[in-house]
Amino acid sequence: MEINDSVSQYVVSNLPITFKDSGQHETFINAFSANYQKLLAKYDAAETTPTNVKHWSRTDSLSANAAATPRIRKILRDRSRYEIANNSYASGLLLTLTNDMIGTGPKLQLIMEESQMSRYIEDSFYSWCCEVGLTDHLKLLKMCYERDGEGFAIMATNPRLEHKVKLDLKSVEADQCTTPGLDPFSDNKIDGIIYDDFDDPISYDMLKHHPGDMGYGLQNQFGEYVTYPAEQVLHYFNPVRPGQLRGIPPGISTLELYAQLRRATGALLRAFEIASMVAGVMETNNPITDDAGVVQTLDIGESLPLQQGMLMALPAGYKMGQFKSDQPVTSYKMFKEEILCEIGRCRNVPFNVVACRSDGYNYASGRLDFQIYYRSLRIEQFLMGLKIMDRIFKQWAHEASEVDPRFWGINIASIPRLWFWDGTEHVDPLKEAEAQVVKLNNNLTTLQIEWSKSANGNDWERMVEQRAKEKRKLASIGVDESIENKTSGISNQSSAQDTALNGAQVTSAVDIVTKVAMNELPAQTGISMLMNFFHLSKENAESMINPTIKESDQLPDYML
């Protein structure tokens, strides 16, 4: 027996045993190796058995880049695009993930003492973002990442821009990032990317035209590409393995699930259609014969005319039965929901987001599921801020420092900054506002944090200044007091809602009052129960039990 395991070889070769001849030595080695393998500690998942051999037959030990070859990435991109284009759940989930993450786009806030200069820089950058359509480019990057596995954008000069800074972005699909004729054994080079020893990109090769364009290759365009330095290229993807340089769609594990869902829906629909087309079936246990003894039968597929509300005589020996269209409607709904849950799990998306309905949720369950989803969004927004927005701002700041005299002598790119993304709207805005007041009063949060969590991710300084301006205006026309009254009215309304009894509590209170009226419960005990159980005042409890209770019959205050 040949010893294949290196550990077994090492142990056997270092045993302090002397053998008479080579035959005894070989026999011992073979016997020890076989038994040593049995003694080794092992995992159940590492066992290959007749029941799991097919399941694990496709496993390999390829590196991240070797597994994601250009051919494999193209197949995954094409199938992902096809499924998203033909499956409403897939396309809806793509749109939801993009809108929830990008929203109206990130807002820049600089952290510097000179508020006027920071405001000027922020406004100038915002106007540039609006002109180049930065939010649209970010959405394309996000969509390409979810659908294709990676998104690209090239930063270049566009002289047609009206803004002083002529920096612009050009979105590019992953199909164009490729190097025609690349030697697969090249060092520090993968399809479309040259990188250094730290796996940091040095340059990108981009085809001049999309390989799927009409007429591509007919006008000497095939293989023409431009090499861009890495400083000009935005490459957005999230690697999941060390050394991974190209992206694959994060939802590839769900592509077969989408296909199963569509096949199940189609099968159920076809069954309904067949059942609606066939009104009934005819069968016979007594074939009809003619005078010569030949069996007379109806031709296969032959139909009989049916008339509504009429009695019908069938051929002798035949009987009619209604076609049964039993279909697993209930199990289909369960199957569909389980598939959608599995689809959302790989992206940390709860069922009510994938299905776009929350009819089976209560308030607590919905908020609990959303916590995981929102945490994933915040992490991805943070990463996009580092990988994309910081690089865009640094390039913008470099060009702005050259064309705007107000920026001369200021290293804008080195100014500390924050990116604020759209917040999420609370189901109960009043409760959220009350919680914000409590946290602010106890120094558990800041205006900056609370305003950044608003629906539009607002700048707290701008909002505070705007609010002060509004108050001054309201005071100048004498309506400031009315605003305060409305606010206090809302607060009082909230307090009333908090103290109001629900249906079950009202039923219990009525039961106590009834028992007192039937002399099944002492009046004083009923009053005490109403006060302790439902937090009613002494006067309210007494009025509910008996408005005419004598003062001597009432419990003293120290007993309540």
Domain membership flag for residue 439 = no
Asked whether residue 451 is domain-assigned, the answer is no
Tell me: do 528 and 417 sit in the same domain: no
Whether residue 276 lies inside any domain: the answer is no
State which H helix or E strand residue 485 sits in: helix 480-499
In 248-403, alpha helices (H): 255-277, 329-345, 351-354, 363-384, 390-403
43 shares its domain with 107 = no
Query: Could you tell me which of 109, 113, 108, 121 has the C-alpha nearest to residue 406?
Result: 121
CB 63 within 8 A of CB 199: no
Same domain, 197 and 79: yes
Examine the domain organization and report whether 49 and 85 are in the same domain: no
| Judgement on whether residues 105 and 8 belong to the same structural domain of the protein | no
What is the model's pLDDT at position 344?
94
pLDDT tens digits, residue range 264-287? 988 888 877 776 765 666 666 666
Residues 199 and 175 in one domain: yes
Q: Based on the fold, state whether residues 111 and 217 are members of the same structural domain.
A: yes
Rounded distance between C-alpha atoms, residue 331 and residue 266, angstroms: 15
User: Given this model, what pLDDT does residue 117 score?
Assistant: 92
Q: What is the pLDDT of residue 357?
A: 87
End-to-end Cα separation, the chain, in angstroms: 90
**Of the listed ranges 45-49, 68-72, 329-333, the one predicted with least confidence:** 329-333
Distant-in-sequence, close-in-space partners of 396: CB < 8 Å, separation ≥ 6:
125, 128, 165, 167
Flag whether 331 is in a domain.
Answer: no
What is the model's pLDDT at position 86?
Answer: 94
Check whether 305 has a pLDDT greater than 90.
no
Least confident of 92-106, 195-209, 315-329, 503-517: 315-329
Q: Is the pLDDT of residue 450 over 50?
A: yes
Q: Reply yes or no on whether the pLDDT at 312 is more than 60.
A: no
Residue 234 parent element (H or E):
strand 233-236
Q: Which two tokens stand for residue 472?
A: 């001054």
Least confident of 32-46, 122-136, 158-172, 221-235: 32-46
Nearest to 560 by CA among 522, 531, 521: 531
319 forms beta bridges with: 283
Higher pLDDT, 144 or 41: 144
Residue 63 pLDDT class (50, 70, 90 cuts): very high
- Tell me which residue range forms the domain holding 95: 67-251+347-422
Both 31 and 143 in one domain: the answer is no
Would you say residue 412 has pLDDT above 70? yes
Residues 414 and 524 in one domain: no
Distance of CA 478 to the CA centre of its chain: 49
Both 18 and 126 in one domain: the answer is: no
Are 531 and 538 contacting, i.e. CB atoms less than 8 angstroms apart?
A: yes
CB-based contacts of 49: which residues, under 8 Å, 6+ apart? none
Bridge partner residues of 168 (DSSP): 156
Supply the pLDDT for residue 491: 52
Q: How many CA atoms lie within 13 A of 546 on its CB side?
A: 18
Closest Cα partner for 229 from 174, 173, 154? 154
Is the pLDDT confidence value at 494 over 60? no
Give the pLDDT score at 555.
46
Which of 181, 211, 205, 182 shows the shortest CA–CA distance to 193? Answer: 205
Position 222 in a domain: yes
Token pair for 551: 């003062």
Could you tell me if residue 288 is inside a domain?
Answer: no
Query: Is residue 450 a contact partner of residue 460, using CB atoms and an 8 Å limit?
Result: yes
User: Is the domain of 93 the same as that of 15?
Assistant: no
| Separation of alpha carbons 400 and 124, rounded Å | 9
| Assigned domain for 18 exists | yes
Residue 402 lies in a domain: yes
Between 3-7, 176-180, 501-505, the lowest mean confidence (pLDDT) is in: 3-7
The model's confidence at residue 2, banded by pLDDT at 50, 70 and 90, is: very low
Question: Mean pLDDT over residues 5-19, rounded?
Answer: 60
Which is higher by pLDDT, 24 or 172? 172
Q: What is the mean pLDDT of residues 408-421?
A: 91
Question: Contact, 246 vs 150, CB < 8 A?
Answer: yes
Last residue of a domain, one of 12, 38, 59: 59
Number of H helices, E strands in the chain: 19, 13
pTM for this entry = 0.72
| Alpha-carbon distance values, 122 to 107, 341, 396 (Å) | 9, 42, 12
- Position 201 confidence tier, pLDDT thresholds 50, 70, 90: very high
Residue written as tokens 């709207």? 425
Structure-token pair, residue 60: 């390999």
Whether 164 and 225 map to the same domain: the answer is yes
175-189, 356-370, 380-394: segment of lowest average pLDDT: 356-370
- Sign of torsion, CA 371 372 373 377? positive
In order of 105, 175, 207, 244, the CA distances from 138 in angstroms are 8, 18, 21, 22
- How many domains does one find in the chain? 3
Between the ranges 46-50, 405-409, 496-500, where is the mean pLDDT highest?
Answer: 405-409
Domain boundary among 390, 422, 454: 422
pLDDT category at 303 given cuts 50, 70, 90 is low
For residue 120, what pLDDT band results from cuts at 50, 70 and 90? very high
